[in-house]
């Protein structure tokens, strides 16, 4: 049940499956060098493995405890949270002018993977605060920044995001919470929000709620939404805490997993209105929320990567320990470790390959976000479009496989996997939410097809696919026996991805929107397989050229080969579904389905 | 959250996707006619929907409660169990000479699907008793039959299967529980068993444990295992209950799901030995156990079908109710029901198609079991081999898709799916065990490749594939627009299944066992897709020729088409993995995986 942060795999991914090394060498991240990066990863890995990981089971067993409007967090959580803040992790990626360390998204991604792998229920709270820091830094007034932002950067307070209402899940048009101008520059808010992660807890003495609401004279729809900062306790001029605000946690959900993370129903303004301050401009709240949510999607993807990694580690340890039956490869006494049985080898290798492929996608996305910020002109636009393109892949594919891998982990444990004390089932339960929150994976697929593919008239995705093609050609040209059919399979997957892409671009372009939407989910999977396979192949090429003959190099090559020969094989079927499945999907009326 | 037993779909599957109608018309099942079959299905559906289904949520919330060696079942469970027995359901398939109704396996299958869909935690107890009835009827002495069997047939007592020990999951060679001859014809048992479903409860006044154990002079390995009947309370000559036997429930597991079903650790012989009676011959216990387990695999498969059906019903009802966003197909006021969104249509149609395809496989397996019993000579052998072939498909594919469908159901509910009160998450948790118990799905795949494919030198599976080919040809020849590409896709899937089959037969024949085992799981999926797709196509052909133009006929055709065009598309990739993936699977050593 322990977790060993995969520091060297993460470093390898950053250095050899992305162009980060080049950026570091060119000084594009200021003081951040490869050595410093390695040192930070090492320290983060230590904290994740030694301090956070032991919280995971406790949180699941104890739950965040709700009573009389207050939430008490599980045993030990506040102590570890405070140590985490004291070590400076809360402000890792925050701007230096507000007390942060100003490190790039790649470092945020790597550390977030580790916090969330160690304990997803613990990691998700700080994840939301990271997003709020970006929103405050980009959009809030200097006064609001001074009052709140520095406390969030230090971790002294945490923040929440209040979007969902009972009648409005993913549809912001239906938002009803209202805000009234108080006349003194502040506002009064009235409404109910549901599914508010860390809406109430005792890790920090104050909580800053970021709440979407409508002003009385706001236009209808999403152009009439504003964002407000609503603190749990009002803050005095000197920064000390004042009176309790007019808000209350009315309920905490009983969920399938992440039991340590309190998912709250929040009531604002049951008395005379919750006091809030505008963040950004009136009726421009959506832009602020997107600032907050954009990296959140990547980080949720990393929850998928992290939980896949952790489930893999646990399953491998169990499979080496557990003995059953005989195996041709076992010359020892008695029964063979189940890790030697071919079917279990396949399961373990699948877990690892999916975890590594999704990591490659997420870190490529993080690189693109960073490059979109630091590159100028056309290059900057290209990288921004790349980040836009990869974000739904990073979020949806990684969380899909996080759950799949956790399920394989349960299966490897056999009957023990179904018993809660083993811990394998917790990963399954915890991982399931990541496919849903921050925009369900179906919505990610729609975003990919409707907004990301058409970027620059399709040239953004075409340029990306052509880069992947270069990797496939290089892998094919390497002619190494240990590469197996990496090049061949990757080229075939890219053929499929290109055909599906062009089909979808035509469908969207010609207004056959329903047909395009029908294939969105299998297309996201197809493009992710190609992207992940190419990332792994890039790593295999680097490992091969390093020629150090180490076990790690052989392992990276094997992972890429296994993925190509056993997982990329799905590409043809996915393409066929995208290009030929729409008619029977669109015919699936509720009446027909229930006939 | 309610469940409406799909009586007409089940009847359609039996009548039009199997050859059952022919058997009924020929009087091969005695008094059982189509009319009687329909009447029984109707009654069972009513009991499942109205009486059992309401137990499901209660069982999940309350759990089977363990204290001081006793298990108290959830509120209302004993009342419903007694009503179920009073209605005669316990002895449905039991021999008439022991008070049963002697109905064939097809009827057992249909009713078990409904009990387990209504509440899997409730259904699993009687499922085990069904298996024990078969073992007692086939192997026990007349005295033991008289003392125990009639009570099991009436449902007055229930039975358990005691196989697993802490060190021995699926490997019976490692079994340690010992039995000593008492000299009076009885035995004394000593040992511990784990994961004993319904090992202790208060639904019945006595429980008959069927326990695998070794005699002191038994040969090593599985040829030294005997089966014993060990009652919770000893039974007096007059049939009344006597003293408590020397056995105790030492613990009940805290599991991921089926909380209403007590999973017990049983201690036998902590004092002077648990009194038991031999079932079958000494050292021939394995044969008895296989009698008990064979149908159990099919019934566990039906748990997968049932939970998929129930999850689908719930998701469809939610998707028709829940409104979000706009859809081109929605002309009503306000937001559209999410069931109209293309991505949700795809999800709903996938749930239904997988449920129906797995049902087709399970009922074809039930038909084969029945025919294997009633046909003579070569035909009988062919049908027995067919049943052998289909059993691992019925078990593994159906339970795999049970979990997959439950997970799609959670996704359709969005955030509400992650909240326990909705009930969608319970299906996910409950369904997960069926992939593990009665032989993990990996073991089913190994059984398929190593024991079932080589039947009659490969002719059993070849004959089966050639029957499926006939269906594909007929579907292709129908030239109906509403069939879409059913024939084309099914033929392609059969090409893939045939190629993979021949590759595996060669590998097994040439002793390349590890290579064959490496592809076992994807092969099981491939063959199941072909089998399920052909079953649905057979239904579509029947629906088309019925020409009644009803909504139900159109729905059956649509399901077959959707499956062909959106799910059968995976066949090519699976074939490639089977025939080309072994090298990288077998290279996946624990050292390499952890490097």
What six digits make up the tokens of A126? 């700080």
Instruction: Give the DSSP per-residue string, A321-363.
Output: H-B-S--TT--SSSSPBGGGSHHHHHHHHHHHHHHHHHHHHHH
Tokens encoding B70 = 């006793």
Calpha distance A462→B518 (Å, rounded) = 36
Specify whether the CB–CB gap between A421 and B254 falls below 8 A: yes
Question: A90 — phi, psi (to 5°)?
Answer: -60, -35
The residues that bridge with B180 in the sheet, in sequence order, are: B188
Which residues face B160 on adjacent strands? B209
Mean pLDDT across the stretch B343-369?
Answer: 98
Bridge partners of A231, per DSSP, are A208
Q: Would you report the helix, strand and coil content of chain A in percent, each value rounded to 5?
A: 60, 10, 25
3-state secondary structure at position B555:
helix
How many Cα atoms sit within 13 Å of A119 on the Cβ side? 28
Which residues does chain A have within 8 Å of residue B446's beta carbon, measured at their own beta carbons?
343
* Minimum distance, in Å, between the CA of residue B385 and any CA atom of chain A: 24
Q: How far is A406 from chain B (nearest CA, A)?
A: 12
Residues 6+ apart with CB under 8 A from B55: B74, B76, B77, B80, B118, B119, B122, B260
Inter-chain contact B584–A592, Cβ cutoff 8 Å?
no
By C-alpha distance, the chain B residue nearest A350 is B585
The CA R_g of chain B, rounded to the nearest whole Å, is: 24
- Taking the C-alpha atoms of residue B153 and residue B88, their distance in angstroms, rounded to an integer, is 9
CB contact under 8 A, B593 and A407: no
In three-state secondary structure terms, B558 is helix
Question: Which tokens is A509 given?
Answer: 């372009």
Residue B549 DSSP one-character state = -
**Contact across the interface for B342 and A403, Cβ inside 8 Å:** no
Radius of gyration in angstroms for the set of CA atoms belonging to chain A, rounded to a whole number: 24
- Cβ contact (<8 Å) for B577 and A554? no
Interface contact flag, B348 A254, Cβ < 8 Å: no
A244, β-bridge pairs: A233
Distance in angstroms (rounded) separating the CA atoms of residues B287 and B402: 29
Residue of B339, B411, B587 with shortest CB distance to A558: B587
Q: Which of A6, A161, A257, A346 would best serve as a mutation to test chain B binding (most B beta carbons within 10 A)?
A: A346
- Which whole number is the average pLDDT over B281-295? 89
Nearest to B63 by CA among B51, B72, B54: B72
CB contact under 8 A, B442 and A573: no
Q: Is the pLDDT assigned to residue B550 strictly greater than 80?
A: no
CA A104 vs CA A46, B140, B182, B465: distances in Å: 20, 73, 76, 57
Q: Nearest residue on chain A to B411, judged by CA atoms?
A: A436
Question: B442–A344: do the CB atoms touch at under 8 Å?
Answer: yes
Residues of B in contact with A565 (CB under 8 A): 577, 580-581, 583-584
Please check the confidence at residue B548 and state whether its pLDDT lies above 70: no
pLDDT at B324 over 70: yes
- The encoded tokens of residue B49 equal 């929907």
- Tell me which chain A residue has its CA closest to the CA of residue B431: A418
- Residue B573 is nearest to which of A169, A418, A572, comparing CB atoms? A572
What is the DSSP code (8-state) at residue B408? H
> Taking the domain B139-283, which CATH number applies?
2.40.110.20
pLDDT at residue B330, as a whole number: 85
Report the catalytic residues of A: 438
Q: How far apart are CA A203 and CA B14, in angstroms?
A: 59
Cβ contact B593–A335 (<8 Å): no
Q: What does the pLDDT look like over A387-404, one tens digit per residue? A: 999 999 999 999 999 999
**B141 or A551, higher pLDDT:** B141
Is a pLDDT exceeding 80 seen at residue A168? no
Q: How far apart are CA B306 and CA A337, in angstroms?
A: 35
H/E run at residue A276: strand A274-279
- The H-assigned helical ranges of A221-341 are 285-321
Count chain A–chain B contacts defined by CB atoms under 8 A. 288
CB environment A348-369: b (16+ within 10 A), e (fewer) = bbbbbbbbbbbbbbbbbbbbbb
**Cβ separation of B570 and A573 shorter than 8 Å?**
yes
Q: Give the Cα separation of B564 and B539 in Å (integer).
A: 13
Subunit contact A256:B418, Cβ cutoff 8 A: yes
Q: Which two tokens stand for residue A525?
A: 């999977």
Is residue B103 classed as helix, strand or coil in its secondary structure?
Answer: coil
Q: Between chains, do B339 and A590 touch, taking CB under 8 Å as contact? A: yes
Cα of A471 vs its chain's centroid, Å: 25
With contacts defined as CB-CB under 8 Å, which chain A residues touch B173?
325, 335
Contacting residues of A for B328, CB less than 8 Å apart: 513-514
Evaluate if residue A549 carries a pLDDT over 70. no
| pLDDT greater than 90 at residue B547 | no
Give the three-state DSSP class for A235: strand
Check residue A1 and give its pLDDT: 59
- C-beta atoms of B342 and A436 within 8 A: no
Torsion sign across C-alpha atoms B300, B305, B310, B315: positive
The structure tokens listed for B216 are 């002191």
B190 to chain A, closest Cα gap in Å: 23
Q: Quick one: pLDDT band at residue A170, thresholds 50, 70, 90? A: low
Q: Do B324 and A170 touch (CB under 8 A)?
A: yes
- Fold classification of A54-87+119-283 is Butyryl-CoA Dehydrogenase, subunit A; domain 2 (2.40.110)
Q: Choosing among B194, B338, B343, which should be mutated to test the A contact, i.e. which has the most A CBs within 10 A?
A: B343
The pair of structure tokens assigned to B491 is 């033929």
The answer to which of A293-297, A557-561, B86-90, B481-485 has the lowest mean pLDDT is A293-297
Rounded to whole angstroms, what are the CA distances from A150 to A111, A277, A586? 21, 16, 51
To the nearest whole Å, the CA of B88 is away from the closest chain A CA by 31
Q: Which of B172, B342, B480, B512 to mutate to test the interface with A (most CBs of A within 10 A)?
A: B342
Chain B CB contacts of A566 under 8 Å are 577, 581, 584-585
The residues facing A197 across adjacent strands are: A263
Which residues of B are less than 8 Å from A576 in CB distance? 569
Looking up tokens 């007055």, which residue turns up? B156
Among B171, B254, B349, beta carbon nearest to A325? B171
**Looking at the predicted structure, is the pLDDT value of residue B39 above 90?**
yes
Pairing of strands B158-162, B207-213: parallel
Split at pLDDT 50, 70, 90, the class of B297 is: very high
- In A, which residues are within 8 Å of B176 by CB distance? none
d(CA A428, CA B431): 13
Using an 8 Å CB-CB cutoff, list chain B residues near A571: 573
Nearest CA of chain A to the CA of B386: how many Å? 24
| Beta carbons of B411 and A440 less than 8 Å apart | yes
Chain B residues with CB-CB distance to A251 below 8 A: none
Residue A579 · residue A506 · CB < 8 Å? no
- B340 CB neighbours in chain A (<8 A) are 590
- Averaged pLDDT for residues A319-337: 87
Map tokens 């149609």 to a residue.
Answer: B349
B65 HSE (CA, 13 A, CB side): 9
End-to-end CA distance of chain B: 47
Residue with tokens 């706001």: A218
Each residue's pLDDT tens digit, A193-249: 999 999 999 999 999 999 999 999 999 988 999 999 999 999 998 999 999 999 999
* Closest approach of A385 to chain B, Cα-based (Å): 24
**Helix residue spans in A75-214 (DSSP H):** 77-86, 105-118, 120-139, 142-144, 150-154
Residues of B in contact with A333 (CB under 8 A): none
In chain A, whose CA is at the least distance from the CA of B523?
A343
Best CA proximity match to A557, nearest among A576, A542, A568: A542
Is A255 in Cβ contact with B174 (below 8 Å)?
no
DSSP for B325-385 reads S--TT--SSSSPBGGGSHHHHHHHHHHHHHHHHHHHHHHHHHHHHHHHHHS-HHHHHHHHH
Question: Minimal Cα–Cα distance from A560 to chain B, Å?
Answer: 10
**What's the token pair of residue A537?**
């192949």
Cβ atoms within 10 Å of B514's Cβ, excluding its own: 18
Å between B440 CA and nearest CA of chain A: 7
Which among B346, B571, B585 has the least Cβ separation from residue A342? B585
> With contact defined as beta carbons under 8 Å apart, do A558 and A482 qualify?
yes
Q: Do A254 and B345 touch (CB under 8 A)?
A: no
Nearest to B440 among A414, A446, A514 (CB): A414
pLDDT digits (tens, 9 = 90+) for A128-148: 899 999 999 999 999 999 999
The residue from B200, B438, B498, B515 that is catalytic is B438
B384/B390 Cα distance (integer angstroms)? 10
As a whole number of angstroms, the distance between CA B69 and CA B67 comes to 6
Q: Which pLDDT value is given to residue A172?
A: 78
In percent, how much of chain B has pLDDT > 70? 99
**Residue B164 pLDDT exceeds 80:** yes
Q: Give the pLDDT confidence score for residue A173 in this predicted structure.
A: 80
Least confident stretch, A12-26, A281-295, A396-410, A484-498 = A281-295
> What is the distance in angstroms between the Cα of B307 and the nearest Cα belonging to chain A?
16
Distance of CA B435 to the CA centre of its chain: 9
The answer, yes or no, to whether residue B13 has pLDDT greater than 80, is yes
Task: Count CA atoms closer than 13 A to B394's CA, side-chain side.
Answer: 31
Q: Which residues neighbour A401 within 8 Å (Cβ) at sequence distance 6 or greater?
A: A304, A308, A354, A355, A357, A358
pLDDT at B269: 98
Q: How far is CA A148 from CA A63, A279, A283, B323, in A?
A: 29, 11, 22, 37
**What pLDDT was estimated at residue B128?**
87
DSSP 8-state code for residue B236:
-
B410 and A428 in contact by Cβ < 8 A? no
Q: Which residue of B has its CA nearest to A512?
A: B328
pLDDT of residue B5: 98
Contacts of A331 (CB under 8 A, 6+ apart): none
Give the nearest chain A residue to B562 (CA atoms): A584
CA distances from A551 to A353, A453, A562, B314, B516 (A): 16, 39, 16, 50, 27
Cβ atoms of A393 and A524 closer than 8 Å: yes
Q: Which two tokens stand for residue B100?
A: 């049963």
Distance CA A573, CA A575 (A): 5
């Amino acid at each position: 049940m322990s977790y060993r942060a995969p520091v060297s795999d993460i470093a390898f991914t950053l250095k050899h499956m992305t162009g980060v090394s080049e950026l570091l060498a060119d000084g594009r991240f200021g003081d951040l060098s490869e050595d410093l990066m390695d040192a930070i990863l090492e320290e983060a890995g230590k904290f994740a493995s030694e301090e956070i990981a032991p919280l995971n089971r406790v949180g699941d067993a104890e739950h965040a405890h709700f009573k009389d409007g207050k939430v008490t967090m599980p045993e030990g959580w506040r102590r570890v949270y405070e140590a985490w803040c004291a070590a400076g992790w809360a402000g890792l990626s925050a701007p230096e002018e507000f007390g942060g360390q100003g490190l790039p998204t790649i470092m945020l991604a790597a550390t977030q993977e580790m916090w969330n792998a160690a304990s997803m229920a613990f990691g998700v709270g700080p994840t939301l605060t990271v997003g709020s820091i970006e929103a405050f830094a980009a959009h809030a007034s200097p006064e609001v920044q001074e009052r709140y932002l520095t406390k969030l950067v230090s971790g002294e307070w945490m923040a929440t995001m209040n979007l969902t209402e009972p009648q409005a899940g993913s549809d912001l048009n239906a938002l009803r919470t209202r805000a009234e101008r108080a006349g003194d520059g502040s506002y009064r808010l009235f409404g109910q929000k549901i599914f508010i992660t860390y809406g109430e807890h005792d890790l920090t003495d104050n909580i800053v709620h970021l709440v979407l609401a409508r002003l009385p004279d706001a236009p209808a729809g999403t152009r009439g939404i504003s964002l407000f900062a609503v603190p749990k306790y009002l803050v005095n001029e000197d920064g000390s805490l004042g009176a309790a605000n007019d808000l209350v946690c009315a309920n905490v959900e009983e969920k399938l997993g992440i039991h340590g993370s309190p998912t709250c129903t929040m009531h604002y303004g049951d008395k005379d209105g919750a006091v809030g301050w505008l963040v950004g401009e009136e009726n421009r709240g959506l832009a602020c929320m997107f600032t907050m949510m954009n990296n959140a999607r990547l980080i949720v993807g990393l929850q998928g990567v992290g939980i896949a990694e952790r489930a893999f580690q646990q399953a491998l340890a169990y499979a080496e320990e557990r003995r059953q039956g005989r195996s041709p490869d076992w010359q020892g006494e008695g029964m063979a470790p189940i890790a030697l049985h071919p079917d279990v080898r396949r399961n373990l290798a699948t877990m690892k390959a999916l975890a590594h492929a999704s990591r490659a996608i997420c870190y490529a996305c993080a690189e693109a976000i960073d490059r979109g910020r630091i590159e100028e002109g056309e290059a900057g636009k290209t990288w921004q479009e790349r980040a836009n393109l990869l974000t739904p892949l990073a979020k949806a594919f990684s969380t899909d496989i996080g759950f799949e891998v956790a399920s394989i982990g349960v299966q490897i444990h056999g009957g023990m996997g179904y018993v809660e004390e083993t811990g394998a089932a917790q990963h399954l339960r915890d991982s399931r939410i990541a496919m849903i929150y921050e925009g369900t994976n179906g919505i990610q697929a729609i975003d990919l097809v409707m907004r990301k593919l058409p970027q620059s008239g399709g040239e953004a995705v075409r340029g990306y696919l052509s880069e992947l093609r270069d990797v496939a050609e290089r892998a094919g040209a390497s002619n190494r026996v240990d590469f197996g059919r990496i090049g061949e399979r990757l080229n075939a997957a890219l053929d499929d991805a290109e055909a599906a892409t062009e089909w979808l671009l035509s469908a969207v372009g010609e207004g056959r929107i329903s047909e395009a939407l029908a294939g969105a989910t299998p297309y996201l999977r197809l493009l992710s397989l190609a992207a992940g396979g190419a990332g792994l192949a890039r790593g295999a090429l680097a490992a091969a050229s390093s020629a150090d003959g180490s076990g790690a190099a052989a392992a990276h090559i094997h992972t890429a080969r296994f993925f190509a020969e056993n997982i990329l094989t799905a590409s043809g079927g996915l393409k066929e579904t995208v290009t030929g499945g729409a008619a029977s999907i669109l015919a699936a009326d509720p009446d027909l389905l229930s006939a």
